[in-house]
């Protein structure tokens, strides 16, 4: 953040209501392409800990497949078919997230659109089972 007066103006000649010139990259910014949870975990805990946890997780998944015949998420779909989020890359064995919650427009107020959350029929059924 560059808060120095712009060239050709002294700080005394700049009015109280005039903003200072801001040049260069922003002070606080996040580049979503550089967010990698695995890299951050490795920096904090070290590669050995992260790799050991990943190996233990894979063993649990394979044990569940052997015991119950539970297939990993996607069941043979090509890699890359799961949607990566900003902070988390879904694991193959995580349950699928398929649009159970959505928004629909329900009117306007002061010229601004209003929305409400709606649940799909499948989501509502699962929610009722959870409550019972």
57 inside domain: no
Q: What is the pLDDT of residue 71?
A: 60
Distance in angstroms (rounded) separating the CA atoms of residues 5 and 10: 7
Gap between the Cα atoms of 115 and 16, Å rounded: 41
> What is the pLDDT, as a whole number, of residue 59?
86
Q: CA angle, 34 as apex, 28 and 39 as ends, to 5°? A: 115
- Residue 65, in any domain of the structure: no
DSSP string, 3-72: -SPPTT--TTTS-TTSPPP--SS-SS---GGG--HHHHHHHHH-HHHHHHHHHHHHHHHHHHHHHH-PPP
Query: Each residue of 46-68: pLDDT tens digit?
Result: 999 989 988 988 888 888 777 77
**pLDDT for residue 90:** 78
pTM here is 0.38
**CA-to-CA separations, 52 to 28, 39, 40, 60, 70, in angstroms, rounded:** 34, 15, 16, 12, 23
* pLDDT digits 0-9 by tens, 70-97: 565 555 444 445 666 667 777 777 777 6
- Residue 105's pLDDT is what? 93
**Does residue 87 fall inside a structural domain?**
no
Cβ atoms of 40 and 61 within 8 Å: the answer is no
Report if residue 128 sits inside a domain.
Answer: yes
Tell me which residue range forms the domain holding 116. Answer: 102-132
Do strands 112-119 and 101-109 pair parallel, antiparallel, or not at all (unpaired)? antiparallel
- Take residue 27 and report the two structure tokens written for it: 């002070």
Higher pLDDT, 73 or 23: 23
114 in any annotated domain? yes
Distance CA(18)–CA(88), nearest Å, equals 43
More confident residue, 127 or 17: 127
> Is 11 part of a structural domain of the chain?
no
- pLDDT value of residue 37: 81
Query: Regarding predicted confidence, which is higher, 93 or 14?
Result: 93
| pLDDT at position 12 over 60 | no
Domain annotation covers residue 108? yes
Mean pLDDT of the chain: 75
Domains contained in the chain, number: 1
- The residue that leads in pLDDT, 31 or 50, is 50
Q: Is residue 110 part of a domain?
A: yes
């Amino acid at each position: 953040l560059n808060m120095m007066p712009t060239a050709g103006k002294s700080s005394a000649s700049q009015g109280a209501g005039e903003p200072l010139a801001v040049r260069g990259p922003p002070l606080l910014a996040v580049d979503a392409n550089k967010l990698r949870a695995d890299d951050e975990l490795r920096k904090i805990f070290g590669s050995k800990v992260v790799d050991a946890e990943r190996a233990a997780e894979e063993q649990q998944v394979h044990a569940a497949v052997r015991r119950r015949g539970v297939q990993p998420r996607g069941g043979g779909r090509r890699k890359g078919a799961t949607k990566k989020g900003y902070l988390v890359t879904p694991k193959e064995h995580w349950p699928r997230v398929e649009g159970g919650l959505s928004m629909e427009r329900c009117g306007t107020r002061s010229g601004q659109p209003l929305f409400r959350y709606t649940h799909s029929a499948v989501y509502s059924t699962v929610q009722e089972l959870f409550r019972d």
